Each structure stands twice: as structure tokens, then as C-alpha cells.
Amino acid sequence: MMTGTMNFEADPMTVQRPANTVRATIIPRNNSVYTSVDFDREGKQMGFFHVPQSPHDDAWGTVRVPLAVIKNGDGPTVLIEGGNHGDEYEGPIALGELLREIDPRDIAGRIIAIPAINIRAVEAGTRTSPVDGLNFNRSFPGDFNGTLTSQIAAYVHDILFPKADYFLDLHSGGSSLMILPSAIIEPSPTAQGHRKNIKATLAFGAPTVVMVDNLGETRTSTASANHQGLIV
């Protein structure tokens, strides 16, 4: 396994908690993204978060990114993401089926689901966004003053990750790869986090488990979630 150093010291929005905790405190940056979904409401909600976008044909428009919350009482929060790359269609389909079928009574805690996070790429069936040409999975921690992809990444980083205990990012081979059904362990920056990631990945029950550090890449959604102390 190749090893790399994950250094987020340059991120001014991240303030570490005391050393005896594993979560980072994230101070949300000023932004204009909004949603009508209530993350604390019991039951099942389907909606969107809205990212301001002012293209040629929509001066005061927003891009609507599908968002669902299923909550039942107290318990951990699992954040599930599909459509990180728009040509990897299996994740959005599977997550859409889950959201239609799941009953809140089947869980104890909360699921926050984004079935088509890179929405314009999902609509186009392309790995990168046709709006700005960016790879969503190389855009973290994002920038609310940036292009569409950067704004979505910033919303996930600043708003959604701090709400979650677990993060599951659904990928597949897309247009350029053939990937075996598998679950991937990305090393955590802490030994405790790494042990928890391994335990959770094995519990997922995939026929193949792979450990990969992406050559120390820090701009992926999983690296960002790892840094905040989620189980990934």
C-alpha cells in the first residue's frame, strides 16, 4: 500500500477539538445554499438543497440537488452519497430504490441521503461536471465562492459532514473502469479512526475488500470525511 500524508492545517475553517476526541469542529463558511428539509424532523422527507447559479438563461436560478432525510428516534447518523461521478449510475439507482422502499421504523437514528450529488454530471452521464469541467471528487473542501462543483463540495464539507457519524460514498466503474463488487478502506489520519473504518468496511459484507490511500490525495470526499473523524 502506498502511504501519503494528509495535511489539512492550511484549512482555516477547521478547528481541532481537544486531543481526547476524534471529531473536528467545522465552522461553516458564509454561503447562500438553502434547503427546506428539516434534518431533525422525524419520518421520511424528500427534497433538495439549492445552490445559487446564474447562467445565461436563468438569471436568478438555483441548481436543485436531491436530498432525503429518514429519521427515527435517537441513534447515529449515516450520510450516503451517490453520483459523485456522473457516469457511475449504479449508486444513484440503488440509493433511489432504498429511499423509495425504506420505512423509518426500520432504522434507529438518521439517514441523510444524496442520490445524485454531482447532479449536472449525473444528468449528462459524464464523470466531470459539464458546467465547470471539475471532478467533484477532487474538489474538497470546496469553496462557496467558487463554481457549482466547488459550492456543492463546500456544502457537504461544512454542513453535512458535521451532522454525520458514518459516511458511505457509492462508486462504480463508470465509462473508463471495470471494478469488482467491493468495499474500499481509505486509511484514517488517526489509528483509532483507521480501526473503526476497517471494522465498518468488513461489516458491510462486500465480497472483496480493498485498502487504498489514493496516493495521499486530500481532495476526495472520503479523505475530507476521514479528516473530520467520520467512520468512512
17 is a domain residue? no
Quote the pLDDT of residue 56. Answer: 84
**Confidence band, pLDDT 50/70/90 cuts, at residue 57:** confident
| Domain extent for 145 | 33-228
Q: What CA–CA distance (Å, rounded) separates 66 from 166?
A: 19
* Nearest alpha carbon to residue 197 among 179, 216, 184: 184
Q: Mark out the alpha helices in 133-174 (DSSP H runs).
A: 148-155
Share of the chain above pLDDT 90, in %: 81
For the cut 60, the answer to whether the pLDDT of residue 86 exceeds it is: yes
The DSSP output letter for 39 is: T
For the cut 70, the answer to whether the pLDDT of residue 2 exceeds it is: no
Q: What CA–CA distance (Å, rounded) separates 136 from 224?
A: 12
Quote the pLDDT of residue 22. Answer: 62
Whether the predicted model's global pTM rises above the 0.85 cut: yes
179 is a domain residue? yes
For the cut 70, the answer to whether the pLDDT of residue 148 exceeds it is: yes
164 is a domain residue? yes
Distant-in-sequence, close-in-space partners of 144: CB < 8 Å, separation ≥ 6: 29, 30, 31, 32, 33, 150, 151, 154, 155, 158
Quote the pLDDT of residue 29. Answer: 96
- 179-197 pLDDT, tens digit per residue, is 999 999 988 999 999 999 9
What is the total count of domains within the chain? 1
18 is a domain residue? no
Contact 229, 22 (CB under 8 A): yes
206 is a domain residue? yes
The CATH number linked to 188 is: 3.40.630.10
**Confidence band, pLDDT 50/70/90 cuts, at residue 60:** confident
14 is a domain residue? no
* Nearest alpha carbon to residue 23 among 140, 167, 161, 186: 161
113 is a domain residue? yes
24 is a domain residue? no
Q: What CA–CA distance (Å, rounded) separates 232 from 218?
A: 14
Quote the pLDDT of residue 215. Answer: 86
- 198-226 pLDDT, tens digit per residue, is 999 999 899 999 998 888 899 999 999 99
Quote the pLDDT of residue 196. Answer: 95
Give 167's strand partners: 79
Share of the chain above pLDDT 70, in %: 91
* Nearest alpha carbon to residue 69 among 164, 137, 151: 164
Quote the pLDDT of residue 9. Answer: 34
